[in-house]
Structure formats: C-alpha cells, structure tokens
Amino acid sequence: MANAGEQDLVLKARIHRILWLQGYHTRLNVKVASYDQSVSSPMELTDLDVLGVRLSTDYRFDQIMADCTTRSISPIARAFWLRGVMDYLGGVRGYLVLSRSVPPHERSIAARLSVDLLNEADLEGLERRYNNGRLPNLKMFEPEGLTYLHKNLGALSKALAPIQEYRKYYFWMNEDSRNIFGTVSVVRRHREDLNSRDKFHRALILEIFTLFCLALLRMCSYLFHSNPENLTEATREFLHGGVASLRNREELLRDIRALVEAVPGQQDLFAREGLIDKLKLDPPYFNDLMELVVRLVSRPTEVAEILRYLQLILYEKLLFRGAAIRELIGGQYSEITLKLLKDAAIFYVKASEIDPALLAEVQEA
Amino acid sequence: MSLLRPRQIGLRAQDIQTGLESVDLSAAGGVLDTTRLVGMAERLAIHVRGAEVIEDYERLKAMAGQLGIDGLILPQVLDVLQEAEFVQIHKAGGAFAKLYDRVPYFHDLYEVMGSVWGSRRPTEIERKSVELLEDLSVRPLTEDAVRGKFDLSDQELALIRDIGVEGAYFRLYESPSDGQKILTSPLFWDENAEAVYQLLKKYKADEVAAAIAKVKSNQGYPLPDLTMPVQNTVDQIILECMVRGILPSPSVSSLKGEKRFAFTPYVGNVQIAKEEKPILDKARAILSCVRYGEHFGTITRISDPDRLLKALEDSTRGRRIGPHTEIKQQYALLVLKGIGRITRDTRFADRYYFELIDTGENLKALQLARDMLSVGEMLTGRGYDPGVREILFHPGTYTEVLASLARLKAKRTPLWSKESASLILDRIVDRVREDWHG
C-alpha cells in the first residue's frame, strides 16, 4: 500500500493537471521561508503543494494555489491556513484537495475564503469537465514524471547548492525587482560548476531561467500598466525599487566613486585599468534587457504562454524526449511566442555568461 | 581601412543607397555594391523591426521592392542583416521558411552596419565615395581639393562624381564669380553653395570644416555676443555663416536678451527632408529654447538637456516641464509655432509650465531634437516609411497596399562623363582579358 506521501503525490499530480488544463503554468512544492539573523540559510516555514500562475492577454497575473492531503485533518482549519498562504504569496483562489468527506457547512465558509474544498468525487468531476481528450498524455502529469526531476536535482553536486537554494527559497522570498538581477547573477557566479552535457544541470538552468522569465514578465506587467511609453526610465525605477530608491543608489555610487578617485596610492590602478567604470548602477546587460522588454511589452497576447512553453520544454523535451512543442500545444501554438522565448534565452545566456548549450533545448524547440 | 567611425559609414551608406535607389548602375560593374547592400539592409531593418516573425516571403519581397530592393538582390540583403545578427533566417529544404527579427531598439543600428561594411572589404572607389560624402557634410570642396585630398585620378573623380550626381547626393557647382568647380552635397548645402564657396575663399578649408563640425556636434550652438569682440576664428566663421544664411540660426528671447543658436542645414536624405521641413524647423526651435536655458538661464541652468526633452516626451508627466519663472519668455517661440502651450502655476503666480501639444508632428520634432542633441543629425526612423511597413501587416493581400502606394519608379540610367565611361570600359576589358578581380 502506498504511503501518505505517495498518496499525496497522486493528488498533487491530478490537481496539477487540472490547473494546466485551466491555462496555468504550474510549480510544485513552493517553499515559504524567511531570513533569520542567527543562521545563514533561509528558515523554511511551510510549503505549498501546487502554485498556478496565469498571465492574461492584458498583462494581468492571476495566481491559484492548491494544497493536497490524505491525512485526517479539519478541512476548514486547513482552508484558513491556505488562505493565509494565498495572502502571503498573492493568490486569489485556492483548492484544498482531500481524501475525506467534506461537511456542506464547511464548503460555504471555505467559499467565502475563495477556497474550493474538493473530495474524490469533486476532483473526478473537475477532471471530467476539463478533460477534453485532445491533450496528449504528458509526462509532467504523471507522479513518476514529477519525482524524476525532483530526485535528480536533489542528487546534484553541492557546488550547485546556491543555485538550488535560489530556486527553492530566495526566489519566493525576494521582490520581483531583485529576482531579475538575482536569477542572472547566481548562475553567473557558479557557471564554472555547470556541465552542459549533464541533463540535470540543463534542467536546473532551465528551471532558473523559467523563474527569470516569471520575474521578467511580472516586471513587464508593471511596465505595461504604469508607463509603457517610457520603458527605459520605468524599468530603471522598477529594478531599483522606485524613484527614491533609484536616486539614493545613484548618489551612493557617485559618492563611492568620488572616494575611490580620491584615494592616494593606487589611483592609477582604477583609472588606467578602467576599473572605475565598474561603479555603475545599471548592469552591463541593461541595454540588452531593454531590447527584450520592448519586445515583450509590445506583444501582450503572445507572451501569455511563455511559461507554459518552458514547462513543456523541460519535461517533454529535455527530461523525456517527447514530441515537439508545436504538436503538444496544438491549435494555440504561436511561432512568435516561441521566438520571444528564444530571445529571452539568448539574453539570459549572454547576461549570465554561461555555455549556450545549457539552454540548448530552448533554441532547438 | 576607412578613417571614418562605423556610425558615420552606416549613415552615409544609407544616404548613398537612398539616392541611387532608382538608378540603374549595372553598367558600373559593382563599383558601390557593398555600400548599396548595406544601405538597403539598413532600410529593410527598420521596417522589419517589431515584426518578430515573418513567414510570408512574398510579402517580405513586396515590402523590400518598395524600398528599392529587387527580389533577386533580397537574399544578399538578408545575408547582410544576418551577418549583423539583426535577423535569423530559418530554411526548410533550402528554401526560406521564416525570419526572426532581432533588429535592435537600443543599440546603434548604424554603428553595427558600418562595421559590417568594413568587414566586407569595400572597393577603393566606394570607400572614397563614403568618405567624400562625409567630408562634404562639413563644407563643399573644389574639385582640385577633392582630387588632392583623396588621391584620385581624373577618371576616378569623374566616376565618383557622376554616380553621386545621379544619386543626388553630390552636385557639381560652378561658381559664377570665378568659374571654379566645386563639389558639394545637396544633402547639406542645398541652397547655399555660392555663399559657402565665398566663405572658403576667405578662410582656410580646414578652419571652415572645424567650425561646421563644431556646430554639427553641438546642434543649437549658442552664437557669440555680437556686441563683444569674437575670441577665435571658429566662432568668427560660425558668425559669418549665420550672417550669410548658411547656418539656420533661430533666435530666442528671454531674461538675458535675444540669443541665436546655430544648426547645420543637414537633417537626412533629400527626399525625406523636403517632406519633413516643418518638423525640422520645430526641432530646431525646441532645441534653441533648451539651449537658452542651458547657457543663459539666470536663476538655474539646464544641466542635462536630454533629460528635459525626455520629460517632454513622457506622457505620464503630461509632457510638461516646470514650473519655472523663465519658461514664459524662453518657450514663447514654441507657442508661436504651435508646439506647446504655457500655463501659470497655481501656487506660485510668477512660475509657469510648458506643455507639449500632443500631435504626431510635434512628437517627431521632439525626437529629432533629441537625435540632434545626441548625434548631430536625424537617427530615429531614418528612411522609415509607415506605408511600406503596412505591407507586412495588411490583413488582405498586399497588392492592395502596393496599389495605394503607387510607387512604380522607372530606373534611370546615369549620364556618364567621358572620363567615367572610359574607366568603366577599361575595367570591363581588363576583366575579359585577364579574368581580373579588382
């Protein structure tokens, strides 16, 4: 008989499939963590079984969260917990998937929390309603498919631990503005430890690249709705946490530069070797980032599916060598979506200075 | 190797190609092929940018045709764009399948294309054509001076000149005062050739070049105070250019009195300049007002003119600057020209805002002012024709769009001089006899 963890996994795989059919990009086992002064690593507080992220064609994000359990718990108590996690992570709706029966009076309370309580019958009903039969059987809907990635990423070398931690904790703890820089720099710092011939190194980078794209699209959503006619200024403000923070940082760097220039003894080092030019607020890839932002903000309809394309590339192409993206997406396939995804990959490779082969599956899609 | 910077090469290549678009140069045997290819590629690039993916080759060909790019030449032009990494061509079974657009928005397109030009080993004739055109942008030259400076034989000079005259980017002017033959470029000195020539007789050519170059790199150059003795020859020449009407010099009046600001006449290709002269006039007015604030502001001075112009472009700020006490007088010229309006601040009665009137023409003028501030000439949308680009996106057949464009241009065959015809014949015969590649 399967243990509780394996039974939970089956429920996760099923709700994950339903969210995919509803048009979400999905992520499993999202950790909620925080910093603590006494320890160097983040402190894990709880985790969310399934997170669904969907971008509408008017550049609005919609998040849905699901918790799955076969344990005997109070549904409504768990619903209140889920509501708390939804508020923390910015979700608007939730599913609580249970293997036990659900009292009717608890359903109506949960509905006020925007949480749907699903027992086995409810889950089967949802599966029937969304299963149009046209979607091919994808490996990422199978429990074995989900654990395959998780197990093998867990077995990677300790040298890649910082990248793993960023993917697991820091991305969800940081603001989006920090994640644009963070997802690039964490990989750049550890690029020497990456081997493009190792499938799971490529999987890890594809995962981080997916998170980069999520942060990038969130930034584009902000730009689309705030200042789409003045993208460069608006992007700088976003990346540096607002106008006041941007000015603060610029002034700080200016002061540091003045100090460095005034320091006696090794002035030649900084002037002659051009090292003083490193004291710039905008990273060297800023113009390339703007090229990407302009294209993405200009195509709200086509960018909506980028994250789902990446999910298919990870599971169906990289891990399990399945069919081409065009066949898997079917009638909604867009060449422009794929092209924009490849543009993002080209940018990411250049900015993080990694071997382009680490994102080969994206370019070959 | 050219002495010019890549961006200058890129800009001049587009000027040359735009001028030669409807000229049949097949008899000239490839004299300017690289330059023309690069110029074609630049024009095609700005029309493709933003399309992301193009799968319909016929439509692409139709659009290129409107830009003077023949269907047979299009693959070579696409190769140039691919070399610059501005496009990525995907093929299926050897045939065109799709094109990915990667034409940059923020990197200097002309800088990159100028480098591509250099890497393709242009001929000596085209290298000198490009350098000569750039040189003539700062002043005309006598034919003797051109011959000497560029080390040209009579035949080479004739060939370069004749092709340029046909392309309307060179003009041979004969001074009525002494019959001297002057080579000028109508892109820069359309109406003032004689005036410039008289200036060249008074000052050394290098001094005139230095003066014009100074204005070109600092468009809206504040003219020296006419009541004070002029400090140096460059300023003296610039003043004289203003007096002779060589350099357009709008005036702005404010708290420090009337001041004039000099501009070079050039803005872009002749065809485009004629259609957009009102925009040029507005751009100069905008930049003059900003320069006044930069050089002659009393209470505060503008330290970053581009930042101010960007603020006027920003719709979230209402395309407005201020409030400031000097705005009412300093920007009055722009109100007269219909570029903006001035409103009083509600809190401080002696302060005013200037707000740009949101029309297509005013926004273009603002962008041109920014280009002139940063590079001295038009850069944004150079050679761009929205009607041609529509071919890519028209929902119906593109033949409807073509019909409305009505751009059937007959190719003109150039009129050769005896010297240039002689050179061409020599080249043809050499090739036949010796299988020579030059």
pLDDT digits (tens, 9 = 90+) for B325-361: 889 889 998 998 889 999 999 888 889 999 999 888 8
Instruction: For residue B401, report the phi and psi dihedrals to the nearest 5 degrees.
Output: -65, -40
**Are the C-beta atoms of B256 and B326 separated by less than 8 Å?**
no
Structure tokens at A188: 């750049």
Min distance A339 CA to chain B CA atoms (Å): 7
Distance CA B297, CA A133 (A): 73
Which of A227, A291, A295 faces B52 most closely, judged by CB atoms? A295
* Structure confidence at residue B438 (pLDDT): 39
CA-based nearest residue in chain B for residue A347: B102
Amino acid A198: pLDDT? 95
Nearest to A227 among B106, B107, B316 (CB): B316
CB A167 within 8 A of CB A204: yes
pLDDT over 60 at B275, yes or no: no
Mode of pairing for the β-strands spanning A93-98 and A61-69: parallel
Our CA angle for B81, B162, B158, nearest 5°, is 115
Tell me what pLDDT residue B271 has. 44
CB contact under 8 A, B310 and A230: yes
Minimal Cβ distance to B52: which of A226, A232, A299: A299
Report the chain A residue with the minimal C-alpha distance to residue B317.
A227
Alpha-carbon separation of residue B19 from B39, B165, B268 (angstroms): 10, 9, 11
Name beta bridge partners: B101.
B87
Flag residues of chain A having pLDDT under 70.
Answer: 1-5, 132-136, 263-277
The values of phi and psi at residue B210, to 5°, are -65, -40
Q: Are B112 and B10 in contact (CB under 8 A)?
A: yes
For an interface test with A, the pick among B48, B49, B52 (most A C-beta atoms closer than 10 Å) comes out as: B52
> E strands, A93-237, where?
93-98, 115-118
* N- to C-terminal Cα separation, chain A: 40
The CA angle A142-A143-A148, to the nearest 5 degrees, is: 100
Q: Report chain B residues whose CB lies below 8 A from the CB of A342.
A: 100
> In this predicted complex, what is the ipTM?
0.80
Query: Is there a cis peptide before residue B323, judged by omega within 30 degrees of 0?
Result: yes
Contacts of A294 in chain B (CB under 8 A): 105-106
Per-residue confidence (pLDDT) for residue A328, from 0 to 100 = 82
- How is residue B214 written in tokens? 């100074």
Looking at the partner chain, which of A226, A229, A339 has a beta carbon nearest the beta carbon of B53?
A: A339
Taking contacts as CB-CB distances below 8 angstroms, the residues of chain A near B52 are 295, 299, 302, 336, 339-340
B52/A340 CB distance under 8 A: yes
Mean pLDDT score, B263-269: 68
Contact A291 B313 (CB under 8 A): no
- What is the distance in angstroms between the Cα of A32 and the nearest Cα belonging to chain B? 37
Sequence-separated (6 or more) residues with CB below 8 Å from residue B273: B187, B267, B280
Select the residue of B53, B104, B310 nearest A335 (Cβ to Cβ).
B53
> Per-residue pLDDT tens for B379-426?
777 777 777 777 777 666 656 555 555 544 455 666 667 777 777 666
Smallest Cβ distance to B104: which of A233, A291, A342? Answer: A291
Q: Return the pLDDT at A132.
A: 65
Average pLDDT (B54-58) is 92
Q: Chain B interface, mutation test: which of A222, A235, A236, A291, most B Cβ atoms within 10 Å?
A: A291
Chain B environment of A226 (Cβ under 8 Å): 316
Contact A194, A205 (CB under 8 A): yes
> Would you call B316 and A287 a contact, using CB atoms and an 8 Å cutoff?
no
In this complex, the residue of B50, B98, B316 whose CB is nearest that of residue A335 is B98
B130 against B257, higher pLDDT: B130
DSSP E strand stretches across chain A: 25-34, 43-55, 61-69, 93-98, 115-118
**Inter-chain residue contact A230 with B314, CB threshold 8 Å:** yes
Tens digits of per-residue pLDDT, B240-251?
888 887 888 888
- Give the minimum alpha-carbon distance from B304 to chain A in angstroms, rounded to a whole number: 15
CA distance to partner chain A, nearest, from residue B108 (Å): 11
Conformation bin of residue B311: beta by default, left when phi > 0, alpha when psi is -120 to 50: alpha
Find the distance separating the first CA and the last CA of chain B, reported in whole Å.
16
Nearest CA in chain B to A335: B53
For residues B114 and B10, is the Cβ–Cβ distance under 8 A? yes
Q: Can you tell me the distance from the alpha carbon of A11 to that of B4, in angstroms, rounded to the nearest whole number? A: 68
Q: CA B102, B106, B112 angle in degrees (round to 5)? A: 70
Q: Rounded to a whole number, what is the distance in Å from the CA of B258 to chain A's nearest CA?
A: 34
- Distance (Å) from the alpha carbon of B377 to chain A's nearest alpha carbon: 22
| Cβ atoms B414, B23 nearer than 8 A | yes
Three-state DSSP at A65 gives strand
In which element (H, E) is residue B335 found? helix B332-336
Could you give the CA distance from residue B152 to residue B292 in angstroms, rounded to a whole number? 44
Does A298 contact B50 at a Cβ distance shorter than 8 Å?
A: yes
- Find the mean pLDDT for residues B228-236: 79
Nearest C-alpha neighbor of B134 from the set B1, B14, B236, B274: B14
Q: What are phi and psi of B99, to 5 degrees?
A: -125, 130
Q: What is the pLDDT of residue A161?
A: 93
- Chain B: give the shortest CA distance to residue A336, in Å: 6
Per-residue burial over A234-250, b = 16 or more CB atoms within 10 Å of its CB, e = otherwise = bbbbbbbeeeeebeeee
Distance CA B346, CA A349 (A): 52
* Angle in degrees, CA B257, B261, B263, rounded to 5: 170
Q: How confident is the model at residue B166 (pLDDT cuts 50, 70, 90)?
A: confident
Give the one of B50, B53, B106 whose C-beta lies nearest to A287's C-beta: B106
Q: Which residue of A has its CA nearest to B311?
A: A230
- Higher model confidence: residue A261 or residue B6? B6
Which pLDDT does position A4 carry in this prediction? 62
What is the overall mean pLDDT for chain B?
Answer: 83
Question: Which residue reads 């993208």 in tokens?
Answer: A231
The CA-CA-CA angle for residues B220, B107, B132, to 5°, reads 60
Q: Phi, psi (5° rounding) for residue B253?
A: -115, 135
Assigned token pair, B393: 């996106």
Where is average pLDDT lowest: A79-88, B186-195, B310-319?
A: B186-195
Query: What percentage of chain B's residues is helix, strand, coil (to nearest 5)?
Result: 55, 10, 35
pLDDT at site B272:
46
Nearest by CB to A229, which of B50, B55, B315?
B315
pLDDT at A271: 61
For residue B244, with 0-12 CB atoms within 10 Å meaning exposed, 13-18 middle and 19 or more buried, which class applies?
Answer: middle
d(CA B235, CA B309): 27
- The structure tokens 């760097």 sit at A253
Cα–Cα distance between B288 and B305 in angstroms, integer? Answer: 11
Sheet of B257-262: strand order equals B221-222, B257-262, B251-254
At a CB cut-off of 8 Å and minimum separation 6, what does A105 contact? none
B310 vs A233: CB contact, 8 Å cut-off?
Answer: yes
Nearest to B105 among A291, A339, A342 (CB): A291
Residues of A in contact with B313 (CB under 8 A): 229-230
Closest CA to A23 of A2, A52, A45: A52
A interface with B, Cβ–Cβ below 8 Å: 226-227, 229-230, 232-233, 287, 290-291, 294-295, 298-299, 302, 335-336, 339-340, 342-343
Question: Could you tell me if B320 and B356 are in contact, meaning their C-beta atoms sit under 8 angstroms apart?
Answer: yes
What is the tens place of the pLDDT at every residue in A1-28? 556 667 788 899 999 999 998 999 999 9
Cβ within 8 Å, pair A339-B52: yes
Note whether A199 and A319 are within 8 A (CB).
yes
What are the structure tokens assigned to B135, written together? 């040189």
Put simply, the answer to whether A335 touches B55 (Cβ < 8 Å) is yes
Residues of B in contact with A345 (CB under 8 A): none
